[in-house]
Amino acid sequence: MGIVESVNVAVVRSGEWTGRLGRSGIDKQPTSGPVLFEPSGVRGDTVCDRKHHGSWHQAAYAFDREELEHWSEVLGRGLVPGNAGENLTLVDVDSSSAVIGERWRIGGAVLRVTGPRTPCRVFAGFWDVPSLVKQFTEHGRTGAYLAVEEPGEIAAGDNVEVLSRPDHGVQVAEVFALSMNRAPELADHVERGLVDLPEKWRESLAAKVASARSGIR
């Protein structure tokens, strides 16, 4: 399916852009060796905003090298692995097109795709692009949050192997589009994937499905 270009963990930063907490772990830096991925998260990583990050279904975050290249071109500056806050920088994977509930073996770990990343003001502040939330949402290629089903070490160069893929075919990007009120026509399709979403996200998206069907946003 693809390979891991880089495994990244946080260097905690502070500044006005970090919001009320005054610190953020969004700045990820490549590691020099294997890193243990556990159900509780990535060993050596730091999650500062536990209200919005760090749940079991957000144990790790994957983003594609191709998307970093896209944003480098859009912004006119070079982005490198870890700059999107991702723990796994992947090549030839297209994580935004992964199916919700899809299971990957990478190195010694088994990971499960749980949903999209939603852009926030901290992300925009980190990149120093005030319009980033809007731009990122319009582009719609968010990368994927992952749960860890089987803990194990992952390193740069490891293969990404798809172990299973739910038949409903609901993709990460489709969940994101409906959740951001951008594709009400996807409601019936996305509903089929609700069973594989974490409960908190399932309830929220079920409400989006109902609103899309009624024509209310």
pLDDT digits (tens, 9 = 90+) for 86-140: 999 999 999 999 999 999 999 999 999 999 999 999 999 999 999 999 999 999 9
| SS3 label, residue 163 | strand
Asked if residue 196 belongs to a domain, the reply is no
Specify the range with the lowest mean pLDDT, choosing from 43-52, 67-76, 206-215.
43-52
Instruction: Kindly state the average pLDDT of the residues 72-80.
Output: 97
In this prediction, residue 175 has a pLDDT band, given cuts at 50, 70 and 90, of very high
Asked if residue 163 belongs to a domain, the reply is yes
Lateral strand order in the sheet of 152-154: 41-42, 35-38, 152-154
CATH number of the domain enclosing 74: 2.40.33.20
Q: What is the pLDDT of residues 153-173, one digit of tens each?
A: 999 999 999 999 999 999 999
pLDDT value, residue 217 = 56
Asked if residue 189 belongs to a domain, the reply is no
Asked if residue 204 belongs to a domain, the reply is no
The rounded distance, in Å, linking the Cα atoms of 196 and 115 is 9
Structural domain total, the chain: 1
| SS3 label, residue 119 | coil
Cβ neighbors of 34 (< 8 A, separation 6 or more) are: 7, 107, 153, 154, 155
Per cent of the chain over pLDDT 90 is 90
pLDDT value, residue 44 = 95
Asked if residue 182 belongs to a domain, the reply is no
Per cent of the chain over pLDDT 70 is 99
Mean pLDDT of the chain: 95
pLDDT at residue 40 greater than cutoff 80: yes
Asked if residue 217 belongs to a domain, the reply is no
Instruction: Kindly state the average pLDDT of the residues 36-57.
Output: 91
In this prediction, residue 216 has a pLDDT band, given cuts at 50, 70 and 90, of low
Asked if residue 198 belongs to a domain, the reply is no
Cβ neighbours of 52 (radius 10 Å): 12
Asked if residue 187 belongs to a domain, the reply is no
pLDDT at residue 78 greater than cutoff 70: yes
- Residue span of the structural domain in which 165 resides: 2-177
Longest dimension (CA), the chain: 52
DSSP string, 75-109: HTS---TTTTS-SEEEES--GGGSBTT-EEEETTE
